[in-house]
Amino acid sequence: MHKKQFKTESKKMLDMMINSVYTNKEIFLRELISNASDAIDKRYFRSLTDSSVGLAREDYCITITADKEARTITVADNGCGMTDKDLEQNLGTIAHSDSGEFKSDNNDDNISIIGQFGVGFYSAFMVSSRIVVTTRALDSQVAYRWESEGVDGYTITEADKEAIGTEIVMYLKEDAENETYSEFLDAYRIQELIKKYSDYIRYPIRMDVETSRPLEKAEGEEGTPQYETVVENRTLNSMVPIWHRKASDVSDEEYAEFYKAHFYDTQAPLRTIHTRMEGSVEYEMLLFVPQNAPYDYYSKDYVKGIQLYSDGVMIMEKCSDLLPDYFNFVRGVVDSSDLTLNISRETLQQNYQVKTIAKSIEKKIKSELLKMQKEDREKYEIFFKAFGAQLKYGVYSDYGIHKDVLQDLLVFRTTACDRYVTLKEYVDSMPESQKSIYYAFADTPELASQLPRTQAVVEKGFDVLLLSDDIDEFALGAINIYSDKTFKNVTSGDLDLSTDEEKDAVKKANEENAEMLTAMSDALEGKVKAVRFSNSLGEHPVSLSSEGYISAEMARILSKMPGNEMFANAEMALEINISHKLSETLKKLFAEDKEKLSLYAKILYAQARQISGLEIENPVELSNMICELMTE
């Protein structure tokens, strides 16, 4: 018989499954049951508009059979079934193969891929050496059998099957030294797995379970009781979705298992939000904040959304209208019996219920995040490291209209303490004399704290927010005023930290040395607006300060974006520390060696750029200039 080949990516995935060292092989059952449940959903949906294809509601079910002699475990459903084309498409290709590259053959990666994709059907190859799928689709007169022993390929042939639905027979692998597969033939083990992973599946999962029962004694009979073995057809799942249960009845572990299985994460959620909302629209929400961003979170492939259910029946996998972009990392389920089953994507946006739910979801997420921030700052830091950038984008986007929702969720590193602080905490601990909220920007918070101007502000007894995300300064720009305070970049020209006396002294020095400063500025050929003395550099000899709204760092970020070349150079001044020995050297050179003064100006400018995290415009020239001085 002609064997067909799996598509390349599917083959890689299969190969990984077959040779998997993944310890969690048991999830295969969950995956197959979840597929079976989806297939029944599909048939049920069809029956809403075409009563000829439906069954009585109570007849839909999933059946598990274990055969110890044949070493097989079978999962059967009376769902929508598959045609030969479906088999080809669905089981010949892995559903998610277009959503990412499988990076390496490294086992750790395999594990995370299994977690990320929720590999579905193929996971059965972790425990099986051969799989036979027999299926008959709705509307199809013919049944088909798909069969495969793994990477070699698969065959599809016609088969005998009366009832519509799918039956999947797994021939378990032989037990090896440290791998037992026969455990999956054990009825207790199967019951345990179904309780653990599939309890909430809305259709009954049935299995024949052997039990022994005492034989009834004849009247007057004595002696030890006799037992007979009987087969009981049991329903193994409670069929109550976890979100229908009372929050107080659900353990953290149950939430975690549900979350991981439902949303393909390998880690438990950082926070779980489970409430019943009453009011004009009644619904249950079960939301999760993940610990880590999913692998595709920062790519354009990531789709936000909440699973939408109408009284236990899923009507949409990812309802994006329920989540604002800035909370797009939240996963979860919303279930409302006020929603109609046949709501469409088009009517969704205008739907009153959906709008109401979306509003209260946003409020709830915010209040839960604030609670976490207050009660467990360590956890909140984990959250913020994963998703803080998204909140900052939220503050900046749409001309800042979401800033009131988001600004108190932001936390920052500062010079004063090694934990993150909120803007409110920063402002609350400001000394009376401090007028602005100071911040410094560099590639890392550590570098930002070492900037000359940062040190100068710290010396005045003020704390400085240390920024290092490209979006940071834009987000603060969008907030603009917080608690009546404006934000000030420590490199800004009008930092104004001095007393009147100090200001006068600087002013005088600048006037007296105007010619020298102009000569230095001329040497820099328009690269800076001015060269001047300053008393706000702490111990440091030189620094750049920005003159306009756009700081040097913002200019650097903006200039990287296409169409923004005009931002390539912010208006900057080169500042020389008035109390540094350097200022005397410069004055002396102005009197004795003007050529060398211009050489110094160029070197100092290059140094100041570097300190600000800007590129040196001409490193070769700089190197030559320094060597020239060294070899004098």
Amino acid (one-letter) located at 368: E
- Of positions 13, 27, 64, 80, contacts ligand ADP by CB under 6 A: 80
Q: How far is the CB of 567 from ligand ADP (least distance, A)?
A: 45
53 binds ligand ADP (CB under 6 A): no
Candidates 35-43, 374-382, 487-495, 604-612; binding stretch for ligand ADP (CB under 6 A): 35-43
312: left (phi over 0), alpha (psi -120 to 50) or beta: left
Q: Strand pairing partners for 135?
A: 144, 166
577 scored as a contact of ligand ADP (CB under 6 A)? no
Is residue 199 within 8 Å of residue 229, measured between CB atoms? Answer: no
Length of the chain equals 632
Cβ 95 to ligand ADP shortest distance, Å: 4
Among 115, 120, 290, 493, binds ligand ADP (CB under 6 A): 120
Residues 87-106 that bind ligand ADP (CB under 6 A): 90, 95
User: Which stretch in 118-126, 236-244, 276-284, 356-364 sits in contact with ligand ADP by CB under 6 A?
Assistant: 118-126
Q: How far is the CB of 98 from ligand ADP (least distance, A)?
A: 12
Q: Considering only residues 148-187, where is the footprint of ligand ADP by CB under 6 A? A: 166
Q: How far is the CB of 240 from ligand ADP (least distance, A)?
A: 23
- Residue nearest ligand ADP (C-beta atom): 120
CB closer to ligand ADP out of 82 and 578: 82
Helix, strand, or coil here: 67? strand
Query: Which residue, 79 or 493, has its beta carbon nearer to ligand ADP?
Result: 79
CA dist 555 to 464, 560, 589, 609, Å? 21, 9, 33, 13
Shortest Å distance, C-beta 44 to ligand ADP: 13
Distance separating alpha carbons of residues 113 and 93, to the nearest angstrom: 16
DSSP line for 576-589 = EETTSHHHHHHHHH
Which listed residue (17, 22, 26, 35) binds ligand ADP by CB under 6 A? 35
Structure tokens at 586: 């410069």
**Residue from 16, 66, 82, 261 binding ligand ADP (CB under 6 A):** 82
- Is the Cβ of residue 80 or residue 172 nearer to ligand ADP in the bound state? 80
Q: Which is nearer to ligand ADP, 96 or 527 (CB)?
A: 96
Task: Indicate the residue among 77 and 321 with the shorter CB distance to ligand ADP.
Answer: 77
Q: How far is the CB of 69 from ligand ADP (least distance, A)?
A: 25
Residue 623 CB, shortest distance to ligand ADP, in Å, is: 58
Minimum distance, C-beta of residue 480 to ligand ADP, in the bound complex (Å)? 46
* Cβ proximity of 117 and 96 under 8 Å: yes
For residue 77, state whether it binds ligand ADP (rule: CB under 6 A). Answer: yes
Residue at 287: amino acid letter: L
* Closest to 253 measured CA to CA, from 272, 237, 275, 240: 272
Alpha helices (H) along 276-432: 345-348, 352-375, 377-396, 403-406, 423-428
Stretch that binds ligand ADP, among 77-85, 411-419, 454-462, 606-614 (CB under 6 A): 77-85
Cβ of residue 150: shortest distance to ligand ADP, in angstroms?
15
Residue 36 interacts with ligand ADP (CB under 6 A): yes or no: yes
CA pseudo-torsion sign 130, 134, 137, 140: positive
Cβ of residue 8: shortest distance to ligand ADP, in angstroms? Answer: 16
Give me the least distance between CB of 31 and ligand ADP, in Å please: 6
Kindly state the smallest distance separating residue 193's Cβ from ligand ADP, in Å: 17
**Tokens at residue 131, please?**
């799989």
Identify which range of 76-84, 242-250, 429-437, 440-448 contacts ligand ADP by CB under 6 A: 76-84
Q: Give residue 71's identity as a one-letter amino acid code.
A: R
Q: Kindly tell me which of 121 and 420 has the beta carbon lying closer to ligand ADP.
A: 121
Q: How far is CA 37 from the centre of its chain?
A: 27
Name residue 101's amino acid.
E
Nearest CB to ligand ADP, comparing residues 43 and 403: 43
Identify which of 534, 418, 436 has the alpha carbon closest to the alpha carbon of residue 480: 436
Give the alpha-carbon dihedral of 265, 267, 271, 273, to 10 degrees. Answer: 40
Measured distance CA(241)–CA(335) in Å, rounded: 10
Q: Of 82, 97, 90, give the one whose Cα is nearest residue 11.
A: 97
399/378 Cα distance (integer angstroms): 31
> What are the strands of the beta sheet with 411-414, ordered from one edge?
421-422, 411-414, 464-467, 437-441, 485-489, 481-482
State both tokens at 496. 């104004």
Output 77 or 362, the one with its CB closest to ligand ADP: 77
Asked if 199 touches ligand ADP (CB under 6 A), the answer is: no
DSSP assignment letter at 614: P
Q: Kindly list the residues in this chain that would bind ligand ADP in the complex (CB under 6 A).
A: 31, 35-36, 39, 77, 79-82, 90, 95, 120-122, 166
